[in-house]
Amino acid sequence: MIKITTDSTCDLPARLLEQHNITVFPLGVVKAGKLYHDGVDIRTGDIAAHVDAGGEVTTTNAVNTADYEDIFRRLAEKYDAIIHVNIGSSFSCCCQNARLAAGEVPEVYVVNSENLTIGHGLLVLAAAEAAEAGKSVHEILDLLDAMVSRVETSFVLDRLDYMKKGGRCSAVTALGANLLKLHPCVEVIGGKMSVTKKYRGAIAKVVADYVRERLRNRTDLDTSRVCLVDTCEGDELAGIAREILQEDGRFQEIIETKAGCTIFSHCGPNTLGIILLRK
């Protein structure tokens, strides 16, 4: 049997993690000097309340090599092989740490997703489905290798204060964007995040424009599934995106999920993303 493991940054819904028996390594989240574990003893609402009360934005810690090795060793007693799918190596040193740990445990294979959030999660899900279908380790690794460059992850931000406080954009940029009601669209390209467009106006209109533009005149999409991820407290923005995806009518499955604390710590509330798979 082949076991699939991943990091909490994959943001797959709990029902899919349970359904496919996927083991998740939680990243560390530091709030007010105390270390928590993503999705275990801290939730995104805790971070939002802390920041809104004037607290510093939470920081995140990679899973350390010892923790990877400990779990890999335990799982290796039950499974013939372990395939671990990491958050992209440009976003965290999790991948490096997992590879060091894998070097100490036989039959552990580490895959760099070159992605984050549910873009990373799509690869995890594909690996789990392939394992359940009886594919070999090398067949699954080949599948993932071919799939990495086909995942199209993008999202629009409502607020820039989290990125500003986290050192990912300057105070001047954040102020200018807020005054002009600009909302950047960030896309994962070549394993790194790039701002590819700036939308202007209310976030509800921005979300509608963004989703329609991601789908318009596309003949290169794998329509088996599409993913919708957000960091919103309510359902308004997700509802707008969901309706557009349903009206499009091409997708056999729409996977909806909430981003976890690691992603939330960097992008803040009311961020919404669409993750597509190219043919």
pLDDT at 162: 75
Q: Of 201, 222, 127, which is closest to residue 158 (Cα–Cα)?
A: 201
CA angle 167, 44, 115 (to 5 degrees): 60
| Amino acid making up residue 236 | E
- Structurally, at CATH architecture level, domain 151-277 sits in 2-Layer Sandwich (3.30)
Give the pTM: 0.92
Residue ranges, comma separated, of all CATH 3.40.50.10170 domains in the chain are 2-148
pLDDT at 175: 42
Q: Of 167, 124, 127, 122, which is closest to residue 143 (Cα–Cα)?
A: 127
Residue 137 structure tokens: 């380790």
DSSP assignment of 14-33 equals HHHHHHTT-EEEPPEEEETT
Strand (E) or helix (H) holding 36: strand 34-37
Distance CA 117, CA 6 (A): 11
Spatial contact of 31 and 49, defined as CB atoms under 8 Å apart: no
pLDDT at 159: 82
CA quadruple 64, 167, 157, 276: dihedral, nearest 10 = -40
pLDDT at 56: 87
| Amino acid making up residue 170 | S
Spatial contact of 175 and 132, defined as CB atoms under 8 Å apart: no
- What stretches in the chain show pLDDT beneath 70? 163-180
| Amino acid making up residue 71 | I
Residue ranges, comma separated, of all CATH 3.30.1180.10 domains in the chain are 151-277
pLDDT at 278: 97
Q: Which class in CATH covers the domain with range 2-148?
A: alpha beta
